[in-house]
Amino acid sequence: MFFLLANIRLLFIALLLASIAAPLTAQDFSDKNLLNEQLDYYQYDQDFLTAEFHKGRRESLRKLLPDSSIAVFFSAPERNRSNDVYYEYHQDPNFYYLSGFREPNALLIISKEDQKFDSIPTNEILFVPDRDPAMEIWNGRRLGLEGAKDNLGFNSVMINSAFKQIDLDLNSIKRIYYLSPLALEDQDTSETKYLAGLWHQLVKKNTKPFSSAENHLEMMMAQLRQDKTVEEIALLKKAIDITCEAQNKLMQNIKPNMAEYETEAIIEYVFKSKGAEYPGFPSIQGSGENSCILHYTSNRRPLRNGGLLVSDVGAEYRGYTADVTRTIPPSGKFSKEERAIYELVYEAQSRAIDSAKVGVSFWFPHMVAQKIIAQGLMDLGIISFKKDFTKYFMHGTSHYLGLDVHDPGLYKELKENQVITVEPGIYIAEGSDCDPKWWNIGVRIEDDILIKKEGPVILSDKSPRSIEDIEKMMNKKEDSLFNK
């Protein structure tokens, strides 16, 4: 980072010296053995999805495409954080699902039948950035053309800069489906080395309207991604196991004199120490009044000010994201009112999980949870009419889980090998129309559920969720955070 903070004069000198030195070119990597040596970074982790998996996903999409059609996908953009600092790159989930490619400025075309792309008959073609050895010194190695061919199992691979000149007769194709790229503002459209240029040239090459193409392709991808393969379930289980271990470490190491950000540090330390690449979403560590904010991520409040802590987190492992919520008392004990609300949410969640069976509506567990919470809030005197439960339970109970924390799906009936969350909650903010003794109590319990013919399987059962088991876990203070 010291270089990025250098003044303009030093930067100018560095660039001048670089221009004097003999620049590296793609020719320096022409030897295949040297290329493979440079690509060893792709093999640091052995449990990524295989090229055969991604090829199978492309074939599954091809079966959904109508005759004489193609589907076009773009990689995710690189996103600027500030000045010359960029966020760590994260591939678009659909693009990764179909290709396994984890770099920017790429384009994927999948066709129902063989098409001639620049006189090359193929039913798929991947456009990737060329290698730039000078930039790789700064930003890490890239696959390039040969690396993509060797590692990704595509029938055809080309350098993205060639897309501008390629003969692509889109007008002979009846239907063109696409998912448009994001964040193209201020990008150069003149060259197809960049994402905006790839999109610009695609539009230029096609004179027909793309009518409703995006919605149709989104539905096809939702149909594919909602049903998980054995390989996907294994990676999800790994992400979920890591997340459960993080929640357990939090229970064992939390202290009432901590701040919310310290609890976040415990969670994310475990994520990284167990090999997760990222949190799947910003970690939610909301205590006291913040427990009633559904997606609170500031995480600055001192726990000593009282209240429960809602810890809603998920490790991302090889692209797949867990989503597990536990609500815990930093003191180690639930108060009488906290216990009452927690038990109500726990009952609603348990019954909703039991109802998540093959063939029922996706929304059926939600209806089960709503009914229990509405009656329970009335029994506690918090509401007078069942319809008023939405004041305190205002979100859905379930969503699909996978490459996205809110994974795409059709939201119809539940099918075997789908993975969903079940996460009812009650949030009674200060000033609510009820006895003040309930104010600032927020409770959410969330587990990740695999739908099987034999019944629902709780994948996140390694972290306790009943009051008794949580308090028991919190008494295990001898388990050090750094004990792997």
- Per-residue pLDDT, averaged over 415-442, amounts to 98
The answer, yes or no, to whether residue 11 has pLDDT greater than 80, is no
The answer, yes or no, to whether residue 10 has pLDDT greater than 50, is no
Active-site residue (options: 177, 444, 448, 465)? 444
Residue 427 annotated as catalytic: yes
The answer to whether residues 302 and 291 touch, using CB atoms and an 8 Å cutoff, is no
Backbone angles phi, psi at 375, to 5 degrees: -65, -40
Residue 84 annotated as catalytic: yes
Active-site residue (options: 295, 300, 354, 433)? 295
The answer, yes or no, to whether residue 388 has pLDDT greater than 80, is yes
Q: How many CB atoms lie within 10 A of CB 325?
A: 24
Active-site residue (options: 423, 447, 448, 465)? 423
- Per-residue pLDDT, averaged over 79-83, amounts to 91
Domains of the chain, with CATH numbers?
Answer: 35-224 (3.40.350.10), 227-474 (3.90.230.10)
Residue 90 annotated as catalytic: no
The answer, yes or no, to whether residue 2 has pLDDT greater than 90, is no
The more confidently predicted of residues 40 and 338 is 338
Q: What is the pLDDT of residue 140?
A: 87
* Spatial separation of the C-alpha atoms in residues 400 and 411, rounded to whole Å: 9
The answer, yes or no, to whether residue 21 has pLDDT greater than 50, is no
Percent of the chain surpassing pLDDT 70 = 87
* Spatial separation of the C-alpha atoms in residues 293 and 440, rounded to whole Å: 10
Residue 209 binned pLDDT confidence (cut-offs 50, 70, 90): low
Q: What is the pLDDT of residue 127?
A: 96
Active-site residue (options: 124, 232, 264, 323)? 323
The answer to whether residues 198 and 76 touch, using CB atoms and an 8 Å cutoff, is no
Residue 483 binned pLDDT confidence (cut-offs 50, 70, 90): low
Active-site residue (options: 58, 102, 399, 465)? 399
Is the dihedral angle over the CA atoms 167, 168, 171, 172 positive or is it negative?
A: positive
The predicted model scores a pTM of: 0.90
Active-site residue (options: 40, 67, 81, 84)? 84
Active-site residue (options: 37, 188, 300, 406)? 406
Residue 37 binned pLDDT confidence (cut-offs 50, 70, 90): very low
Question: pLDDT tens, 177-192?
Answer: 988 887 766 667 788 8
Residue 295 annotated as catalytic: yes
Question: pLDDT tens, 300-337?
Answer: 999 999 999 999 999 999 999 999 999 999 999 999 99
Residue 188 annotated as catalytic: no
Mean pLDDT of all residues belonging to the chain: 89
Active-site residue (options: 90, 141, 175, 395)? 395
* Spatial separation of the C-alpha atoms in residues 229 and 238, rounded to whole Å: 14
Q: What is the pLDDT of residue 3?
A: 39
Active-site residue (options: 200, 427, 447, 465)? 427
Question: pLDDT tens, 66-79?
Answer: 999 999 999 999 98
Residue 343 annotated as catalytic: no
Question: pLDDT tens, 132-180?
Answer: 999 999 988 899 999 999 999 998 999 999 998 888 777 778 888 988 8
Residue 395 annotated as catalytic: yes
Residue 444 annotated as catalytic: yes
Amino acid (1-letter code) at residue 232: E
- Per-residue pLDDT, averaged over 28-57, amounts to 69
Residue 447 annotated as catalytic: no
Active-site residue (options: 124, 241, 338, 446)? 446
Percent of the chain surpassing pLDDT 90 = 74
* Spatial separation of the C-alpha atoms in residues 165 and 107, rounded to whole Å: 15
Question: pLDDT tens, 197-208?
Answer: 888 888 877 766
Residue 114 annotated as catalytic: no
Q: Which two tokens stand for residue 214?
A: 């995006």
The answer to whether residues 60 and 224 touch, using CB atoms and an 8 Å cutoff, is yes
